[in-house]
Structure 1
Amino acid sequence: MTTFSDLGIKKPFIKALKEIKIVNPTEIQKTVIPILLETQTDLIGLAQTGTGKTAAFGLPLLHSIDNNKEEIQGLVIAPTRELAQQIKKQLFKFTKYIDGKIFVEAVYGGEKIDRQIKSLSRTTHIVVATPGRLLDLIERNALDISKVKTLVLDEADEMLSMGFKEELNKILKYNTSNRHTWLFSATMPDEIKSIIKNYMSKDAVRIEVNKNSLVNENISHHYIHTNIKDKTNMIIRILDKRPEDRGVIFCRTKAGARQLAKQLTEEGFAVDALEGDMQQKERDKVMRAFKNESLQVLISTDVSARGIDVNNLAFVLHHQLPEQMDYYTHRSGRTARAGKTGQSIALIIPGEMQKVLDIQRTLGISFKEIVM
Structure 2
Amino acid sequence: MSTFHELGLKQELLQGVEILGFSEPTKVQELAIPTILASQRDLIALAQTGTGKTGAFGLPSLHQVDTDSSAVQVLVLSPTRELAIQIAKDLKAFAKKMKGLKTVAVYGGANISTQIRALDNGCQVVIGTPGRMLDLIRRKKLDVRNVRTLVLDEADEMLNMGFQDDLDAILADTPKEKQTLLFSATMPKAIAKMAKKYMNNPEEIEVGERNSGAKNVEHHYYMVHAKDRFEALKRVTDMNPDIYGIVFCRTRRETAEIASKLNKDGYNVDLLNGDLSQAQRDDVMNRFRTKELQLLVATDVAARGLDVNELTHVINYNLPDDLEVYIHRSGRTGRAGNSGVSISIIHTRETRRIRDLERMSGKDFIKKEVPSGEEICGIRMLDLIDTVKETQVNEEQMSKFLPEALEKLADLERDDLIKHFLSVEFNQFLDYYKNANDLNAKGGNDRGRDRDRGSKNNGRDRGGRGNDRGGRHGDDSGYERFFINVGRRDGLNPVRMMGLINEQLNGSKPDFGKIDVQNNFSFFEVEPGFSNDLIHSVKGAKFEGRDVAIEPAQQDKKSNSGGGGGRSFGGKRKGGKGKRRRG
* TM norm. shorter chain > 0.5: yes
Task: Tell me the SS of whatever aligns to 1:304.
Answer: helix
Q: CA deviation at 1:260?
A: 1.9
Instruction: Provide the C-alpha distance between the structure 2 equivalents of 1:310 and 1:134, rounded to a whole number of angstroms.
Output: 27
Paired residues for 1:261-300 under 5 Å: 261-300=259-298
- Matched-pair contact (CA < 8 Å) for 1:79–1:307: no
Cα displacement (A) at 1:130: 0.6
Deviation for aligned residue 1:324: 1.7
Q: CA deviation at 1:212?
A: 4.4
**Residues 198-227 of structure 1: CA deviation (Å, up to 9, x unaligned):** 2211x2111111134532223221112333
Tell me the CA shift for residue 172 of structure 1: 1.2
User: How far, CA to CA, are the matches of 2:51 and 2:197 in structure 1?
Assistant: 27
Q: How does 1:38-117 map to 2 (within 5 A)?
A: 38-98=38-98, 100-117=99-116
TM-superposition CA deviations, 1:45-77 (whole Å, max 9, x none): 111221100000011011101111121111111
1-side partners of 2:241 and 2:103: how far apart?
Answer: 40
* Per-residue CA distance 1:319-346 (angstroms, 9 max, x = gap): 1222221221222122223443321011
1:164 aligns with 2:169: no
Deviation at 1:361, TM superposition (A): 1.0
Deviates more, 1:30-39 or 1:231-240: 231-240
Task: Give TM-score, length-normalised by structure 1.
Answer: 0.93
5 Å matches for 1:214-233?
214-233=212-231
Q: Contact 1:52–1:338 (CA<8 Å) still a contact in 2? A: no
Matched residue, 1:311: 309
Report 1:1-372 matches (<5 A).
Answer: 1-98=1-98, 100-201=99-200, 203-371=201-369, 372=371
Give per-residue Cα distances to partners, 1:238-295, cap 9 Å, x unaligned.
3234333311011233333222212221222110122344444433432332233221
CA contact under 8 A between 1:176 and 1:199: conserved in structure 2? no
* In 2: Cα distance, 1:64 partner to 1:352 partner: 49
Separation in 1, partners of 2:66, 2:323: 42
1:4-57 CA deviation, whole Å, 9 max, x = no partner? 112223343233223323222111111111111221211111112211000000
Q: AA paired with 1:76?
A: V
More divergent stretch after superposition (216-225 vs 159-168): 216-225
Deviates more, 1:25-34 or 1:362-371: 362-371
Contact 1:84 1:108 in 2 (8 A): yes
- Structure 2 residue ranges without an equivalent (≥5): 372-583
- Structure 1 unaligned runs (5+)? none
Counterpart-to-counterpart distance in 1, 2:257 and 2:39: 52
Alignment check: 8 A CA contact 1:120 1:142 kept? yes
* Amino acid of the structure 1 residue aligned with 2:103: V
Tell me, what secondary structure is at the counterpart of 1:261?
helix
* Separation of aligned partners in 2, 1:231 and 1:190: 32
Q: SS of the residue aligned with 2:157?
A: helix
- Relative to structure 1, is the Cα distance of residues 40 and 26 closer, same or farther in structure 2, using a 3 angstrom cutoff? same
> Matched residues in 2 for 1:255 and 1:134: separation?
28
Contact 1:95/1:101 (CA < 8 Å) preserved in 2? Answer: no
Distance 1:255 1:305 in 2: 15
SS in 1 for 2:301: coil
Q: What is the rounded CA distance, in whole Å, between the counterparts of 2:104 and 2:159 in structure 1?
A: 23
- Corresponding residue SS for 1:217: coil
TM-score (norm 2): 0.61
Q: Matched residues in 2 for 1:250 and 1:102: separation?
A: 38
Distance in 2, Cα, partners of 1:143 & 1:352: 47
How big is each residue's C-alpha offset from its partner over 1:102-144, in whole Å with a ceiling of 9 and x where there is no partner?
1111111111111111111112010111100111111111011
The secondary structure found in structure 2 opposite 1:303 is: helix
Supply the AA of the counterpart residue of 1:83.
L
* SS, match of residue 2 in structure 1: coil
Structure 2 distance, partners of 1:228, 1:24, is 47
Report the CA distance between 1:316 and its aligned residue.
0.3
Say which SS state the counterpart of residue 61 (structure 1) adopts.
Answer: helix
Q: Distance in 2 between matches of 1:217 and 1:294?
A: 28
Question: Aligned partners of 1:228 and 1:172: how far apart in 2?
Answer: 44
Q: Which has the larger radius of gyration?
A: 2
Instruction: Say which SS state the counterpart of residue 300 (structure 2) adopts.
Output: coil
Distance across 1 between alignment mates of 2:174 and 2:346? 50
CA 1:266–1:365 in structure 2 vs 1: closer, same or farther (change >3 Å)?
A: same
CA 1:338–1:250 in 2, change beyond 3 Å: closer, same or farther? same
Q: By how many angstroms is 1:94 displaced?
A: 0.9
Q: Is the CA contact (8 Å cut-off) linking 1:271 and 1:296 kept in structure 2?
A: yes
What amino acid sits opposite 1:45 in the alignment?
A
